[in-house]
């Protein structure tokens, strides 16, 4: 039995509130916040229902006529649910955070309106049932995140916005070219487990060309080297935006797209057969190392985190571009793990900036005494990024390492472990100086009972706890790992 | 509840108690209670070491966590780990009474304890790694506890070496578990023995855990970290934490399942080198705790040697493992007592009955380390020698070991020389608690000589005249040499050359440090003092660094401009296609 309204309502649950919020006056703070939270909770519930249904084997599909021979398809399969659940949960916490973060600033209606649109696009990307739908929402994401990046309106922000648009729109051109090429070859390609291009597998050249175009287009948002230039620049955005950009929306949309193309458009066996996996793995490996080295050289906390994202998202690409179950599990589960850990780190960076006006790594000395919970959350995130158990990042790294060896590519293990060392090199000094060094001058005491407003503190702590739980209880059936294992088994079933 | 439920509860409790107490110490609300209970946190572990538990298996935790099996290794490790942590904790209560960072100490103490006990209990690869990492990283808090520049430097060396070790171990674990994802310890030795990567795995395991053990050339962190940590911290670091490295060897090497003569010989050679090298460098040190750290390096050399023999002679592996355990128990308690003693003596002073008691105790422990007759050291060396005989080791080995024992005696004499004269004449009030816990630990140590957890078969030999003589002569020779040197110094002032603690680390740093600065250029950082050579070398790097850095920055800036985005895309496509056609 197929349910046709649920995927659409998941999409609308953030699209409609977004449109309504645009109409609200700036002063209607309560209404706006209520609407935001209501939408976020609704989406969580709908996602939960859908996840349970998919777990039980039910079908969810909305199909709207769009172009001749190409419908607009929204379908929930286990892979989309992985991404949707991540987005829904993180959207919920980020909304709370953003309400606290932007308290008393201008243009909040505009901000939250585009914020909701951005999440709606992410939902669309996750639910897209074919390449065309995917492309549509992918571009909608670009356009809805641009106003968020330039939200502050400073010259620097506007410049960053320009860079962002140039990169993403150029990427879109390539993506469109790839989609059209595939369309001409095989019609509207529906995402199918184990690939949908089996019938045209003989057209090797065209398939490879389309693959390269698609990867080029998606690689921009994924921030693969050398297409990563926009990401560190886009750091001027407000903290909740950076958090969402880095954890769920933009870079993840790219990584999600790459995964979709490899597994559900081409099919992992075909991609392997075409010989395009190894080059992608090499690009990912270069990105991992380059991002880590560049992160080492940043003195600005958010910039360091940005380069860390460049490196960490490439882990996902690396995982899906090594042929084998273990690496696939590692890559996909890192999609979730990296999201939760990175959002924690960005929340922390936002907290430091908001409460103490600290932006640079060298200014963090002794911050642990003033903001212990935030710093504890930061520590969890940082340890997770390095891959120290029991934080979630460890699980990803474990599977990626095993997968690299399974595919007889020991050099990738060397890349992974070198990157871990580099990660330690740029995260541990921060953790050290925050906890163990004395502050240069006494911090100004907190005006409230807590180290920072609860609206900022609770999301930070919650995501840190999630990062810990996802790693510590990875063996559970409903953990990100459990879900990914289920999903990967289906992809690799011959 | 049924008996086996109680047994599993006992296993869970050993981890849960220190874990919950860590949480209590971290939260301001429960901090006082937590810190009052903290010294007792190791009691469940000790209890489990004395009794028996039941294997616990949680499928949902990590990658399927398995804890505890009632084998000899686990029980012995639990026993001495529990004892040393318990008494170090009780000692710390008095030692750190006026410390400024008390909560921080207890937090890290408890967390490290959790990791240490967990590493002993773990029965699968992933859980072992979890607890091992937890122990390693939390012990960092003990190392840097004093918040001094020396502590920070020691902490840096400690953490960098620990990370290198962890990375090597991860590589070994990846090779080991393969697509099974996780592996129970019941299968590990067999899988390693049958693996096509057997030798690589073994080398990675040896080096990875070698960092923790303080094996030769991986030992640099030990003499830096031990002296800066507070006395109870050093005691557990040198007593139990470095033993977990040996535990790693016992758990992961295919001892008894495969014969690796070459690797075994390398280990034997490395162990012997460490035994003598530790003494040689240790004798040049002036700080009592540094001398002890070098003694630990030397003593761990004996364990490396035993493990090496077991690698080469699978048939003798069980005996050798038994000897390793006897040695581990002996060294853990004796070295723990010595480290705690360095903290105790300034408090009791060296005059008065308390001072004399401590001095007698310290001398007794020093004799134990030296392996004097009728001490736990003699028992440990005896087990080692008879195990070697079972492994058909070289004829020269017993002689070399006796020579090394001369070295141990010398280094212990050096330790006493560094400790006793520096202690104040009169002690301070309120050292009673410390003295009591130290005395109790000494009593436990002595009791364990008559009632050892392992190696009971060798006990009667301890009284045999032949062994008495072979144990006595190195100590006598060492003592004699020490006395002559000490006397001669009275009328002729000559000095021992001083080597910086960490010895080979410093030449190494001259190469590594500029490299690191190069890598991290751009991040603003504190201006630190630099060695002159480092500065000169760095000057050489400076131009290259600037050139390369400017290039990267420029390239990224160019990329951000419109016309170059397209170029980047082209470049990406070009590289991709190039890789494709390759």
- CB-based contact A170 B65, cutoff 8 Å: no
Residue found by looking up tokens 């090594």 in the block: A322
- What are the DSSP calls for A23-73, one per residue? HS-TT-HHHHHHHHHHHHHHHHHHHHHHHHHHHTT-EEEEEEEEETTEEEE
Across the strands, what pairs with B65? B58
Closest Cβ–Cβ partner in A226, A401, A474 for B62: A474
pLDDT in tens, A276-304: 999 999 999 999 999 999 999 888 999 99
**Largest CA-CA distance found in chain B, in angstroms, rounded:** 90
Tallying the residues shown for chain A, one arrives at 494
Name which of A149, A158, A226 to mutate to probe chain B: the one with the most chain B Cβ atoms within 10 A of its Cβ: A226
* B7-23: average pLDDT: 93
- What are the DSSP calls for B397-412, one per residue? HHHHHHHHHHHHHHHH
- CB-based contact A475 B525, cutoff 8 Å: no
pLDDT in tens, A75-119: 988 889 999 999 999 989 999 999 999 888 888 888 999 999 999
The CA R_g of chain B, rounded to the nearest whole Å, is: 25
Is pLDDT of A212 > 60?
A: yes
- What are the DSSP calls for B40-86, one per residue? GTTHHHHHHHHS----EEESSSTTTEEE----HHHHHHHHHHHHHHH
Separation of alpha carbons A229 and A310, rounded Å: 10
Closest Cβ–Cβ partner in B178, B524, B556 for A360: B524
Separation of alpha carbons A144 and A124, rounded Å: 13
Residue of A nearest to B552 (CA): A294
- CB-based contact B61 A406, cutoff 8 Å: no
List the one residue out of B228, B78, B220 whose CA is nearest residue B141.
B228
Q: Is A127 exposed, middle or buried (0-12, 13-18, 19+ CB in 10 A)?
A: buried
* B426-450: average pLDDT: 89
- CB-based contact B526 A362, cutoff 8 Å: yes
Contact in structure between A114 and A18 (CB atoms under 8 Å) = yes
- The whole-number pLDDT of residue B527 equals 40
Name which of A375, A402, A406, A407 to mutate to probe chain B: the one with the most chain B Cβ atoms within 10 A of its Cβ: A402
Chain B residues whose beta carbon lies within 8 Å of the beta carbon of residue A174? 569
Give pTM, 2 decimals: 0.92
Is pLDDT of B536 > 60?
A: no
- CB-based contact B560 A233, cutoff 8 Å: yes
Chain B residues whose beta carbon lies within 8 Å of the beta carbon of residue A475? 58-65
Chain A residues whose beta carbon lies within 8 Å of the beta carbon of residue B132? none
CB neighbours (10 Å) of residue B416? 18
- The whole-number pLDDT of residue A210 equals 93
Q: Which two tokens stand for residue A395?
A: 């699980």
Q: Which two tokens stand for residue B38?
A: 């903290």
Separation of alpha carbons A335 and A141, rounded Å: 18
- The whole-number pLDDT of residue A65 equals 85
- The whole-number pLDDT of residue A202 equals 86
A156 touches chain B (CB under 8 A): no
CB neighbours (10 Å) of residue B190? 13
Name which of B163, B516, B546 to mutate to probe chain A: the one with the most chain A Cβ atoms within 10 A of its Cβ: B163
- CB-based contact B61 A473, cutoff 8 Å: yes
Chain A residues whose beta carbon lies within 8 Å of the beta carbon of residue B546? none
3-state secondary structure of A76: strand
Across the strands, what pairs with B70? none
- The whole-number pLDDT of residue B524 equals 60
Chain B residues whose beta carbon lies within 8 Å of the beta carbon of residue A399? 181
Question: Could you state, in order of their start, the residue ranges of all structural domains in chain A?
Answer: 291-310+319-494
pLDDT confidence bin for B424, thresholds 50/70/90: confident
Separation of alpha carbons A343 and A247, rounded Å: 5
A181 touches chain B (CB under 8 A): no
Separation of alpha carbons A304 and A85, rounded Å: 27
- What are the DSSP calls for B279-325, one per residue? HHHHTT--SHHHHHHHHHHHHHHHHHHHHHHHHH-GGGHHHHHHHHH
- CB-based contact A475 B175, cutoff 8 Å: no
What's phi and psi for A438, nearest 5 deg? -80, 145
Residue of B nearest to A404 (CA): B174
- CB-based contact A230 B178, cutoff 8 Å: no
Those residues with Cβ within 8 angstroms of residue B136's Cβ, 6 or more apart along the chain or in another chain: B115, B162, B165, B166, B212
A31 touches chain B (CB under 8 A): no
| B209 CA: distance to closest CA in chain A (Å) | 17
Which one is predicted more confidently, B1 or B381? Answer: B381
Q: Is A153 exposed, middle or buried (0-12, 13-18, 19+ CB in 10 A)?
A: exposed
- The whole-number pLDDT of residue B561 equals 56
* B420-441: average pLDDT: 87
- CB-based contact B579 A279, cutoff 8 Å: yes
Closest Cβ–Cβ partner in B63, B181, B579 for A282: B579
pLDDT in tens, B181-235: 999 999 999 999 999 999 999 999 999 999 999 998 899 999 999 999 999 999 9
Is pLDDT of B161 > 80?
A: yes
Portion 48-77 of B in contact with A at CB < 8 A: 58-65
**Most confident by average pLDDT, A225-239, A446-460, B157-171:** B157-171
What's phi and psi for B184, nearest 5 deg? -80, 150
- CB-based contact A401 B576, cutoff 8 Å: no
Separation of alpha carbons A432 and A361, rounded Å: 11
Q: Which two tokens stand for residue B549?
A: 């850095």
Closest Cβ–Cβ partner in A219, A389, A437 for B133: A389
pLDDT in tens, A343-390: 999 999 999 998 999 999 888 999 998 999 999 999 999 999 999 989
Is pLDDT of B543 > 80?
A: no
- CB-based contact B126 A397, cutoff 8 Å: no
- What are the DSSP calls for A222-237, one per residue? HT-TTS-THHHHGGGS
Separation of alpha carbons B496 and B313, rounded Å: 41
A233 touches chain B (CB under 8 A): yes
List the one residue out of B120, B390, B416 whose CA is nearest residue B292.
B416
- The whole-number pLDDT of residue B90 equals 95
Separation of alpha carbons A74 and A7, rounded Å: 6
- CB-based contact B572 A404, cutoff 8 Å: no
């Amino acid at each position: 039995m197929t349910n046709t309204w649920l995927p659409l309502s998941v999409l609308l649950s953030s699209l409609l509130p977004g449109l309504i919020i645009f109409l609200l006056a700036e002063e209607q703070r309560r209404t706006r916040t209520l609407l935001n939270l209501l939408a976020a909770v609704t989406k969580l519930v709908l996602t939960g229902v859908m996840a349970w249904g998919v777990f039980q084997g039910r079908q969810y599909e909305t199909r709207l006529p769009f172009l001749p021979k190409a419908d607009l398809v929204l379908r929930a399969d286990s892979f989309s649910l992985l991404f949707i659940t991540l987005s829904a949960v993180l959207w919920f916490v980020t909304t709370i955070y953003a309400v606290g973060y932007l308290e008393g600033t201008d243009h909040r209606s505009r901000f939250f309106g585009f914020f909701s649109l951005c999440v709606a696009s992410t939902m669309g990307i996750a639910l897209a049932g074919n390449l065309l739908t995917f492309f549509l929402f992918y571009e909608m994401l670009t356009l809805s995140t641009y106003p968020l990046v330039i939200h502050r309106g400073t010259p620097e922000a506007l410049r960053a916005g320009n860079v962002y648009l140039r990169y993403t729109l150029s990427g879109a051109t390539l993506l469109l070219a790839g989609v059209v090429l595939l369309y001409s070859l095989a019609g509207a390609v529906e995402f199918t487990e184990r690939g949908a291009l089996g019938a045209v597998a003989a057209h090797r050249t065209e398939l490879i060309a389309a693959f390269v175009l698609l990867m080029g287009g998606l690689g921009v948002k994924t921030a693969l080297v050398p297409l990563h230039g926009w990401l560190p620049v886009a750091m001027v955005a407000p903290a909740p935006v950076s958090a969402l950009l880095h954890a769920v929306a933009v870079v993840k949309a790219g990584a999600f797209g790459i995964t979709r193309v490899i597994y559900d458009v081409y099919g992992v066996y075909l991609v392997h057969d075409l010989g395009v996996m190894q080059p992608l793995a090499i690009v990912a490996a270069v990105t991992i190392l380059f991002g880590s080295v560049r992160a080492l050289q940043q003195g600005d906390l958010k910039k360091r985190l940005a380069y860390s994202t460049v490196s960490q998202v490439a882990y996902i690409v690396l995982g899906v571009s090594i042929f084998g179950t273990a690496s696939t599990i590692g890559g996909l589960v890192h999609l979730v793990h990296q999201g939760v850990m990175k959002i924690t780190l960005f929340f922390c960076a936002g907290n430091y900036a908001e409460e103490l006006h600290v932006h640079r790594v060298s200014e963090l000395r002794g911050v642990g005494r003033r903001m212990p919970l935030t710093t504890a959350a930061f520590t969890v995130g940082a340890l997770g990024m390095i891959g120290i158990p029991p934080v979630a990042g460890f699980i990803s790294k474990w599977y990626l390492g095993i997968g690299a060896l399974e595919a007889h590519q020991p050099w990738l293990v060397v890349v992974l472990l070198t990157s871990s060392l580099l990660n330690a090199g740029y995260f541990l000094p921060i953790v050290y100086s925050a906890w163990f060094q004395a502050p240069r001058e006494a911090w100004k005491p907190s005006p409230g009972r807590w180290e920072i407003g609860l609206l900022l503190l609770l999301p930070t702590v919650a995501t840190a706890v999630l990062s810990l739980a996802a790693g510590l209880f990875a063996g559970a059936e409903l953990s990100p790992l459990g879900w990914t294992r289920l999903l990967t088994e289906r992809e690799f079933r011959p | 509840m049924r008996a086996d439920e109680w047994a599993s509860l006992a296993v869970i409790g050993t981890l849960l108690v220190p874990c919950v107490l860590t949480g209590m110490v971290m939260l301001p609300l429960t901090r006082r209670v937590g810190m009052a209970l903290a010294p007792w946190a190791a009691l469940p572990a000790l209890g489990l070491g004395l009794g028996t538990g039941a294997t616990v298996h949680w499928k949902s935790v990590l990658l399927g966590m398995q804890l505890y099996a009632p084998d000899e290794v686990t029980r012995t490790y639990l026993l001495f780990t529990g004892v040393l942590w318990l008494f170090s904790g009780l000692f710390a209560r008095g030692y750190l009474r006026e410390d400024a960072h008390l909560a921080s100490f207890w937090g890290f103490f408890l967390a490290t304890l959790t990791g240490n006990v967990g590493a002993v209990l773990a029965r699968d690869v992933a859980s072992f790694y979890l607890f091992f990492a937890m122990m390693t990283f939390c012990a960092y808090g003990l190392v840097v506890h004093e918040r001094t520049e020396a502590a920070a430097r020691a902490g840096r060396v400690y953490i960098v070496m620990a990370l290198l070790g962890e990375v090597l171990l991860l590589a070994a674990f990846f090779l080991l578990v393969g697509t099974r994802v996780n592996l129970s310890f019941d299968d590990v030795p067999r899988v390693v023995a049958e693996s096509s990567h057997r030798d690589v795995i073994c080398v990675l395991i040896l080096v990875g855990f070698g960092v923790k053990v303080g094996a030769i050339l991986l030992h640099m962190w030990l003499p830096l970290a031990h002296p800066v940590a507070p006395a109870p911290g050093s005691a557990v670091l040198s007593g139990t934490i470095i033993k977990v490295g040996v535990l790693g060897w016992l758990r992961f090497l295919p001892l008894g399942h495969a014969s690796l003569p070459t690797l075994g010989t390398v280990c034997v050679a490395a162990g012997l080198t460490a035994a003598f090298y530790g003494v040689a460098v240790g004798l040049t040190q002036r700080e009592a705790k540094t001398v002890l750290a070098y003694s630990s390096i030397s003593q761990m050399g004996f364990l490396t040697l035993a493990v090496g023999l077991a690698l080469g002679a699978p048939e003798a592996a069980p005996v050798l493992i038994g000897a390793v355990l006897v040695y581990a128990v002996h060294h853990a308690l004796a070295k723990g007592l010595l480290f705690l003693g360095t903290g105790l003596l300034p408090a009791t002073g060296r005059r008065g009955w308390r001072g004399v008691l401590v001095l007698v105790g310290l001398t007794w422990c020093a004799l134990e380390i030296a392996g004097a007759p009728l001490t736990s050291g003699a028992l440990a060396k005896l087990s080692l020698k008879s195990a070697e005989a079972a492994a058909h080791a070289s004829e020269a080995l017993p002689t070399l070991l006796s020579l090394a024992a001369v070295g141990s005696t010398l280094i212990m004499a050096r330790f006493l020389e560094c400790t006793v004269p520096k202690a104040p004449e009169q002690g301070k009030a309120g050292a009673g608690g410390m003295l009591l816990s130290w005395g109790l630990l000494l009593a436990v140590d002595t009791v364990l000589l008559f009632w050892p957890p392992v190696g009971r078969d060798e006990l009667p030999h301890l009284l045999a005249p032949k062994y008495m003589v072979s144990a006595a002569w190195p100590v006598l020779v060492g003592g004699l040499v020490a006395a002559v040197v000490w006397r001669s110094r009275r009328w002729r002032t000559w000095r021992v050359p001083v080597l910086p603690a960490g010895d080979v680390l410093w030449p190494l740093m001259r190469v590594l440090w500029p490299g690191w600065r190069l890598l991290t250029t751009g991040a603003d950082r504190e201006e630190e003092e630099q060695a002159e050579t480092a500065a000169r070398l760095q000057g050489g790097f400076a131009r290259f660094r600037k050139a390369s850095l400017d290039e990267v920055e420029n390239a990224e800036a160019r990329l951000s401009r419109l016309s170059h985005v397209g170029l980047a895309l082209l470049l990406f496509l070009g590289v991709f296609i190039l890789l494709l056609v390759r």
